[in-house]
Structure 1
Amino acid sequence: MELNTPHQEWDLEIKPHDTVFNLHLKDVWNYRDLLWLLVRRDFVSFYKQTVLGPLWFFIQPIFTTIVFTFIFGNLAGISTDNIPKPLFYMAGTIAWNYFADCLTKTSTVFKDNANIFGKVYFPRLIMPLSIVFSNLVKFGVQFALFLIVFVYYLIQYHYFPENLEPGEKVEPNLLLLLFPVLIIFMAILGLGLGLIITALTTKYRDLAFVVTFGMQLLMYATPVIYPYAEALKKSYHLVVTLNPMTGLIETFRYGFTGGGQFYLWPFIYSIVASLVLFMIGLIIFNKVEKDFVDTV
């Protein structure tokens, strides 16, 4: 006797992972509403109980720029490639902050969300992606501040050059059009490295502490407070050259200000290194997410 079992359609089928290369990006797209909800949560909750609220988005780069201008520009006399000092430091600061925030906050995803991951199913990649997008909102606010400073010095250069120091200039060029590409690869690089680190912290908790002060040290190996041309004259130039953020920040700064020059090979290296680290991060993250709850 044969039983006629009616055909059933399921909204979701949870199957075991058969390969680490199966990244389930379709599931991420299906859960895009959750992604935007988490982005909104991160943006609102972070400054919700602060006195100044979103004003901290402006205060942080302003104070950093003032300190860098006074210490590195005036006291130390470090070259800024004939770019007005506040514009030079702010360009490097906001670009570095976006990358650093993406990396540091992504690097603790497994540890910070262990309770949620152990109870509710959703694509785990949603969490680090929400961090990247919420930080993009913060970057957008700070970039608006940078544009104000940029326009101010552009007007000074063309109409009131006597207000600038001798030799200072602001001459934007066509590489400015690469701005969206640069931001995408900063996000990809930060996300990729963050995924690698968060996967390792499930077993090696000490990495979380290393990342905290490691990012501060890494900033000095990136042309944030000095131009790449100055680093090439030093014995540590190879370290700066191998830093994937070097080509991205130098291109960003050169496109808007025209100071220094465009370094093609460091730029290409930054793009390739970002993609490679991103793919490695995705694969490791996909492998570890299957059983990380047992070790966190």
Structure 2
Amino acid sequence: MQHIEVLRQPKPIVVSPSNNNEWTEVIEPRTNLLDLRLGDVWRYRDLVMMFVRRDFISTYKQTVLGPIWFFIQPLLTTLTFIIIFGQVAKLSTDGLPQIVFYLAGVTVWNYFSQTLTAISTVFVTNAAIFGKVYFPRLTMPVSIVLANIVRFLIQFGLFLGVWLYYILRGDSTINPNWLIVLTPVLLAMMGLMSLGLGMIFSSLTTKYRDLSMLLTFGVQLLMYATPVIYPLSSIPEEYRWLVLANPMSSIVETFRYAFLGSGSFNWVYLGYSALFTVVILLAGTIIFNKVEKSFTDTV
């Protein structure tokens, strides 16, 4: 008699999706527009550093001079300012050596303007990546802020080199003071301000592409409303409040006053810049979170 062996199908293993421990990532709808989910950004910190490395390396990867451009750009800009505004227009530098005066303003302004411009197009320029894989969208703007900090530190080193040269040769017009310790605070304020403004413009440019061109032009004009090429003391008293209404003005003036001892410093003006930074960061967070849900439909 022949025995027939019956093979039974194994019972399927059912994994309950309610057990979040089975998943590496749980994507949930964002209910709070003020929530930046910084915890998610921290968990994706390796991705942030990868973006930082990419932005830093790819900028000058196929150039002849490479990273030397980090020094050449501020030097050429400073030289242009010396010729046009220092020699031709004869603008005041408060008695300071022109190269130190202009280089201080250029170093600070470059970080703010480059960070703001880069973040303002983050949705449009990275739409292909955003549409294929999930990761916290905030990692991209944060990586731009950090990558530009590296650029700032390089250009800041150039400024310190020129600054130390004049100090060691005994130039009596340069008188640094204890406010130098506020440099990290000023850097943080510029980074957060550019992050907030950048998130607002990046959210709006997903639908209105013209804003990216308008922003580029606006940033160039804003530099002339900031005491980068002139000291605040050269502005008539009755119009000085217009310049101080620009939150970047007190940051530039504080930086210059801390390292050069010439310029103006006021806790009220710096507090206004800090308050503006907080407000614009909150506004940028709300708009960014609102647009993030549907930006792939409009990009």
Which one has a bigger Cα radius of gyration? 2
Per-residue Cα deviation, 1:161-187 (whole angstroms, up to 9, x for no partner): 5xxxxxx60000000110111011111
> Is 2:239 the counterpart of 1:222?
no
> What is the aligned partner in structure 2 of residue 290 from structure 1?
293
> What is the aligned partner in structure 2 of residue 103 from structure 1?
116
> Is 2:168 the counterpart of 1:155?
yes
Matches within 5 A, 1:168-247: 169-233=173-237, 235=239, 237-247=240-250
Q: Distance in 2 between matches of 1:231 and 1:115?
A: 47
C-alpha RMSD of the superposition:
1.7
In the TM superposition, what is the alpha-carbon distance from 1:239 to its structure 2 partner? 3.0
Per-residue Cα deviation, 1:51-95 (whole angstroms, up to 9, x for no partner): 111111000111111111121112211111222111000000010
> Is 2:270 the counterpart of 1:267?
yes
Per-residue Cα deviation, 1:184-239 (whole angstroms, up to 9, x for no partner): 1111111111110011111111101101111110100000000112224464x333
Q: Distance in 1 between matches of 2:153 and 2:63?
A: 20
Query: How many corresponding residue pairs?
Result: 284
Q: Distance in 2 between matches of 1:268 and 1:137?
A: 26
Matches within 5 A, 1:132-143: 132-143=145-156
Which residue identity does 2:31 align to in structure 1? Answer: D
Three-state SS of the structure 2 residue aligned to 1:78 is: coil
Identity %: 53
Q: Distance in 1 between matches of 2:14 and 2:46?
A: 38
Unaligned runs of 5+ in 1: 162-167
Q: Which portions of structure 1, spanning 4 or more consecutive aligned residues, are displaced by more than 6 angstroms?
A: 3-6
- Normalization by structure 2: what TM-score? 0.91
Residue pair 2:254, 2:263 contacting (<8 A) in 1 also? no
Unaligned runs of 5+ in 2: 1-12
Three-state SS of the structure 1 residue aligned to 2:211 is: helix
Residue pair 1:82, 1:260 contacting (<8 A) in 2 also? no
Q: Distance in 2 between matches of 1:216 and 1:99?
A: 12
In the TM superposition, what is the alpha-carbon distance from 1:261 to its structure 2 partner? 2.9
Three-state SS of the structure 2 residue aligned to 1:280 is: helix
> Is 2:113 the counterpart of 1:113?
no
Q: Distance in 1 between matches of 2:137 and 2:235?
A: 40
Pair 19,8 (structure 1): closer, same or farther in 2 beyond 3 Å: closer
Q: Distance in 1 between matches of 2:15 and 2:61?
A: 54
